[in-house]
Amino acid sequence: DHVLTTSLLLGNVPARHQNNDGSVDIDTLFRIGRGRAPTGEPAAAAEMTKWFNTNYHYIVPEFSKGQQFRLTWTQLLEEVDEALALGHKIKPVLLGPVTYLWLGKVKGEPFDRLTLLKDILPVYQHVLAELAKRGIEWVQIDEPALVLELPQAWLDAFKPAYDALAGQVKLLLTTYFEGVTPNLDTIIALPVQGLHVDLIHGKDDVAELHQRLPVDWLLSAGLINGRNVWRADLTEKYAQINAIVGKRALWVASSCSLLHSPIDLSVETRLDTEVKSWFAFALQKCGELALLRNALNSGETAALEEWSAPIQARRHSRRVHNAAVEKRLAAITAQDSQRENPYEVRAEAQRARFKLPAWPTTTIGSFPQTTEIRGLRLDFKKGNLDANHYRTGIAEHIKQAIIEQERLGLDVLVHGEAERNDMVEYFGEHLDGFVFTQNGWVQSYGSRCVKPPVVIGDISRPAPITVEWAKYAQSLTDKPVKGMLTGPVTILCWSFPREDVTRETIAKQIALALRDEVADLEAAGIGIIQIDEPALREGLPLRRSDWDAYLEWGVEAFRINAAVAKDETQIHTHMCYCEFNDIMDSIAALDADVITIETSRSDMELLESFEAFDYPNEIGPGVYDIHSPNVPSVEWIEALLKKAAQRIPAQRLWVNPDCGLKTRGWPETRAALANMVKAAHNLRQAK
């Protein structure tokens, strides 16, 4: 994680993870991410949150008053030496000091973390001096915070910071994920030698940038999308930049780091030839940059036209357009996103139907994906196992999950999702309009990768997706079993979207497909249906001024998905990695009967926003962190729940973990859930 390695570079290690002698090693890095003290005892992992509006998560730096910084981790310098030894011309990358502070959180006594800037700059100066010693000409220094609507004090911090860093090497100030025009006055006053801009996600005008940037600056033009899988129309890119060729120093580049794109399209052997011709992964994007550079230098564009032909032909492909979907989308009315009655009326009907105790216990959806379950799916995928044996195996795992939950004494059960590889991929595989890669992995955090589906065309549901297994699980118990769907905004955010229609269009197409799934689950006797929207907040545009439009269609998509449910059907939603304060109106507007959220890592801080907003419906604040193998004690869980009850009336509280349990093992899962159920029982008795 480039943020965590920057923390180590600066010697910023939380005290609980620190070696006694102050040294930093690879174990320190893992302890911060996984939650261990040097003794091997559990110690809270550092928080993890989204890197801007991408699907990558970084480890959040922690800052305390009077903190000291020094160069303690030289991974960057070692890697530079290695690359130089191989004879490459290289451009090392540093996360800039202002963005680094912006991304962190204050721990302990409150103070303004920007005051630490003067203390971290000497370490940056030291690193730049070391790079200069090695003959490095250019250093890329990433300040993506410059695309945000920053408070004035933060904008003002850039000039003194860069005055301190100037003079040792050439600095390429690098931004991405949005345009820089609103903050250009701040940028052009800095003593740097070049600027990188994201020309995909930003609305910056190349001619205006050229006109306003100092004449001796290099412009690095982010023309190739580093966050998607689509082949670029290089004829368009050529036209976009050609006018300034020869007028200033110019580099062509990807819009952002290629971390967000899969690596190599050539290893995809099963993709349909036509579909494959529409894609370009990281290596192919580097090839696109070379083609573009050659054409801009020579003026010869034939190679660009040849490269761009497949993506131009796609515009008329039958795989992309489905008239029935487009017609249904056009016919949506306001009524389609309204439940029959308001929450108070629905809650009465649901209480009468389910008769749940106070502090009802449940889990978020998935249970451990054991080697056995993964092996079963792999054998089936490879054709070593026929459909009947596969189904028998999955049914057995679902049965075991129900038995485990009954034994633990949970109130609302789940089927455990043994049949699902991934909460988005599973739905994508059953919806028309998606394709899947074999090896299209991208890093999610640390050592975890995900393989996002690709939306290639209009989306529809050819047949029910989850009904059969939900119905089977419900047949095994008298307790309610939740139906489990991934919501439209999350499926959109965790897939590679089309680039020829708006994100709103894609989200609403998914919502209509899953609306039919809700109706089918209800008809099959499933009384509680959870529609997970963990990505609602992370889909937010980076600039607050763009939020309202996004939230309006995001909420509408969820409601289109859910509103077909009858009053007595309880709709749950789940959200994680979230800070809600700034979007409470929209969370309430989803009108889910119950919302479960991730709160344990932030010690119930999140509930402040629900209390302040006077959130009207039911809420399940997560009582333990599933990203860590540590088992919470009964006392710890009770304390968190009591804390929650100070903010939300107890009769509207649920008891659940933070997230699904897919990545955990059974022993720690049993132990943690047993403690959770015990804590709920203790609180019922204490009434």
Average pLDDT per block of 10 residues along the chain, 687 residues long: 98 95 93 92 90 94 96 97 96 99 96 98 99 98 98 98 98 98 98 98 95 98 98 98 97 98 98 97 99 98 98 93 96 96 97 97 93 93 94 96 98 96 91 96 93 96 98 98 98 96 98 98 98 90 95 98 98 81 90 89 71 88 80 92 89 92 90 96 90
Distance CA 77, CA 128 (A): 10
Contact indicator for 454, 462 with CB cutoff of 8 Å: no
Structure token pair of residue 324: 């029935």
48-50 vs 57-59, strand pairing mode: antiparallel
62-63 vs 93-95, strand pairing mode: unpaired
Q: If phi over 0 gives left and psi between -120 and 50 gives alpha, with beta otherwise, what is residue 409?
A: left
Contact indicator for 10, 123 with CB cutoff of 8 Å: yes
DSSP string over 436-447: --SS--EEEETT
Q: What is the pLDDT of residue 613?
A: 83
Which pTM was predicted? 0.89
Residue that the structure tokens 């993890």 belong to: 48
**Which residues make Cβ contacts (< 8 Å) with residue 667, sequence separation at least 6?**
none
> For the domain 73-314, what is the CATH code?
3.20.20.210
Residue that the structure tokens 């203790």 belong to: 682
CB atoms closer than 10 angstroms to residue 610: 25
Distance CA 532, CA 575 (A): 7
Dihedral (Cα; 496, 502, 504, 506), 10-degree rounding: -50
Q: Do domains 73-314 and 344-434+461-686 have the same CATH topology?
A: yes
DSSP string over 579-641: --GGGHHHHHHT--SEEEE--TTTTTTTHHHHHHHT--SEEEEB-S-TTS-PPPPHHHHHHHH
Q: What is the pLDDT of residue 687?
A: 67
Q: What is the pLDDT of residue 576?
A: 75
CB atoms closer than 10 angstroms to residue 515: 21
Please name the fold of domain 344-434+461-686.
Answer: TIM Barrel (3.20.20)
Helix (H, G, I), strand (E, B) or coil at 100: helix
Contact indicator for 297, 516 with CB cutoff of 8 Å: no
Active site residues: 627
Q: Which of 475, 471, 556 is nearest to 508 (CA)?
A: 556
For the chain, give every domain's residue range. Answer: 73-314, 344-434+461-686
CB atoms closer than 10 angstroms to residue 252: 23
Contact indicator for 274, 319 with CB cutoff of 8 Å: yes
